[in-house]
Amino acid sequence: MKKCYIENLAFNVTDNCNLNCAHCLRGKKINNYISDEVIEKALDQVACIGNIAINGGEPTLAISKIEKIISYIIDNSIQVDEFTMTINGTIYSEELLKLLDEIDNYIGSDNLQALFAISLDDYHIDEINRLNLTEQFIENIKKYKENKHFYGFRGINKKLFREGNAKNLDSKKTVPLRPMKTYITYVGKKSKYDRENGLCNIGPLVTIGTTGIITECDASITNQSLLYNYGNILYNSIEDIVLQNGELITNPKKFEKLANKEMKRYRTYNK
Name the site residues for ligand SF4 (rule: CB under 6 A): 17, 19-21, 24, 26, 56-58, 88, 119
Q: What is residue 200's three-state secondary structure?
A: strand
Contact between residue 76 and residue 43 where contact means Cβ atoms under 8 Å apart = yes
Hey, what's the torsion of the CAs at 131, 132, 138, 144, to 10 degrees?
Answer: -40
CA 269 centroid distance within chain: 18
CA 72 centroid distance within chain: 17
Find the radius of gyration of the CA atoms of the chain.
18
**Whole-number Å distance between alpha carbons of 14 and 11:** 9
Contact between residue 238 and residue 214 where contact means Cβ atoms under 8 Å apart = yes
- Least CB distance from residue 12 to ligand SF4, whole Å? 10
- HSE, CB side, 13 Å, CA atoms: give it for residue 117: 13
- Least CB distance from residue 176 to ligand SF4, whole Å? 19
Which CB, 164 or 203, lies closer to ligand SF4?
A: 164
